[in-house]
Structure formats: structure tokens, C-alpha cells
């Protein structure tokens, strides 16, 4: 199960942000005026599990607004799962990734591991927090609060295979209507994270929305790194043994 966010119909109402905070009892972000357009939450974090970005795009094509409701991508190959030492992060029966706050020890390993910069720790308790895709609601047969609250169906929830088909049809419709810059992001199962559980239809390059153009699971090189580390340790041990052996002969 997952999200398909169609940014072409997002109106920036932030109903998803409010619904997320209300349902999950997520605290406020500090009410800091950032002076960045109409976006005062700034980005995803420990106290912002849904973030509606307001992007004022001034290009040769003319002035326009780009809006997008961002969220944890619930990666198929999730680096945060790989590095968590306590099992606080786990994959659910819906193939989503959830943090168990009562198990998290606040080590913070998951924060730099996330290729999207989604996970963060709260200053008051040090534990990591992020979108759970409303795991408690899913278990009761309900859709996530953000999708329920979205008035334009910009956020759609359901089985990923169905959402990908729906997204492909929507993309084709936009291309036929002359919106050549429309593209899908995170829908391919063969991308660097094995496909996202939350993917998007964008109206410009991913970088414009603050998304990495080619995300890669940050732990992909761990096996080879451990292999090299093991080989180095064996070599050092062999050198030490040789040194002590020569010393003993003298």
C-alpha cells in the first residue's frame, strides 16, 4: 500500500498537514516565520510528517506556482531499516516503514541514512520520528488521515500497482493536453531505492521540488565495505603476528 501524490491538482490548502498533526498528535513546529513565500513549515522533520511546499517559479515560461505535499517515501530498500540497531524501525504488513517510538534509543543513525532527508529527531527527547502512513488507521481498514482530508484527491492512497496504473493514465492525459514537462517520480521498482511507497507526479525537475534526481539507498555499499574492512583487519593481524614472531626469534 502507498501514496500517489498528483501535484498538478494540489491547491496548497495544507489540509493534509493539519489532518496529519491532529490524528497522530504531532506537536507544532515552533511557529517560526521563515519568510519563504507562504510556506512556514519549511520541510519534513520530526514534527512535520506532511509538508506542503510552495514554490514560486519564475522562468522564461512565465511566473507560476508549484505546490506539492511531500512525505516519507517508505522505500522498498530502506536504508533506515538497515542501520537501526534496536529494531525500532520495522516494515509492516502493508510494506510501509514505521518507527516504534518506545523502542527508539535516539542514536540517530537513521537520520543520515535516509536518501531523502526525511527522518529527524526531536530536540526534547532525541528520538526519531516520521510518517507512519497512519499504520493504526490501516489496521482498522481506514485510509491515512492526509488522503482522507485532501479536497482535490491530490493525495491518493491504495495498492501501489493500482496507483501506478492510475498515475500512468494521468501522465498520458497531461501530455496529450500539452503539459510536456509532467513526469512521474519514484514509481519505478528498478530505481535506486527499489521503488517508493510514496511517489509523485511532478510538473518540473525533481530538484525544483527539493527532491534528489537519482536517489540511491545509502547502505548499498555496506557489504563491500565490510568485506574490505575484514580484509584490512586480517592483513593487520597477519602483520602483527609476523612482527611478534620475528621479535620472538631474536
**Cα distance from N-terminal residue to C-terminal residue, the chain:** 69
Is 80 among the annotated ligand-binding positions? yes
What SS3 class is residue 233? helix
Cα angle 79, 85, 89 (rounded to 5 degrees) comes to 55
SS (HEC) of 8-40: HHCCCCCHHHHHHHHHHCCCCCCCCCCCCCCCC
For residue 19, count other CB atoms closer than 10 A to its CB.
Answer: 20
Q: For the chain, percent helix, then strand, then coil, each to nearest 5?
A: 30, 20, 45
124 CB neighbour count, 10 Å cutoff = 9
Determine contact, residues 71/5, Cβ cutoff 8 Å: yes
CB proximity list for 235: less than 8 A, separation 6 or greater: none
Is 104 annotated in a binding site? The answer is yes
Residue 166 three-state SS: helix
CB under 8 Å to 104, separation ≥6 — which residues? 86, 88, 127, 128
Determine if residue 240 is labeled as part of a ligand binding site. no
**Which positions make up the binding site for [4Fe-4S] cluster?**
10, 13, 16, 20, 72, 75, 80, 84, 104, 107, 110, 114, 131, 134, 146, 150
* Residues placed in the known binding site: 10, 13, 16, 20, 72, 75, 80, 84, 104, 107, 110, 114, 131, 134, 146, 150
Amino acid at each position: 500500500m502507498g501514496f500517489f501524490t498528483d501535484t498538478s491538482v494540489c491547491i496548497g490548502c495544507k489540509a493534509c498537514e493539519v489532518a496529519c498533526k491532529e490524528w497522530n498528535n504531532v506537536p507544532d513546529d515552533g511557529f517560526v516565520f521563515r519568510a519563504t513565500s507562504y510556506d512556514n513549515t519549511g520541510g519534513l522533520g520530526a514534527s512535520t510528517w506532511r509538508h506542503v511546499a510552495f514554490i514560486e517559479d519564475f522562468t522564461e515560461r512565465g511566473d507560476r506556482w508549484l505546490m506539492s505535499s511531500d512525505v516519507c517515501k517508505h522505500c522498498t530498500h530502506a536504508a533506515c531499516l538497515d542501520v537501526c540497531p534496536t529494531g525500532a524501525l520495522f516494515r509492516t504488513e502493508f510494506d510501509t516503514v514505521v518507527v516504534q517510538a518506545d523502542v527508539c534509543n535516539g542514536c540517530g543513525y537513521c537520520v543520515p541514512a535516509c536518501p531523502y532527508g526525511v527522518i529527524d529527531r526531536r530536540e526534547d527527547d532525541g528520538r526519531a520520528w516520521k510518517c507512519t502512513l497512519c499504520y493504526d488507521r490501516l489496521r482498522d481498514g481506514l485510509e491515512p488521515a492526509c488522503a482522507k482530508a485532501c479536497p482535490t484527491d491530490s493525495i491518493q492512497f491504495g495498492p501501489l500497482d493500482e496507483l501506478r496504473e492510475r498515475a500512468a493514465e494521468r501522465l498520458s492525459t497531461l501530455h496529450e493536453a500539452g503539459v510536456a514537462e509532467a513526469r512521474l517520480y519514484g514509481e519505478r521498482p528498478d530505481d535506486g531505492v527499489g521503488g517508493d511507497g510514496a511517489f509523485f507526479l511532478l510538473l518540473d525537475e525533481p530538484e525544483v521540488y527539493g527532491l534528489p534526481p537519482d536517489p540511491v539507498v545509502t547502505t548499498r555499499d555496506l557489504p563491500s565495505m565490510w568485506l574490505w574492512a575484514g580484509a584490512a583487519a586480517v592483513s593487520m593481524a597477519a602483520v602483527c603476528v609476523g612482527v611478534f614472531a620475528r621479535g620472538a626469534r631474536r
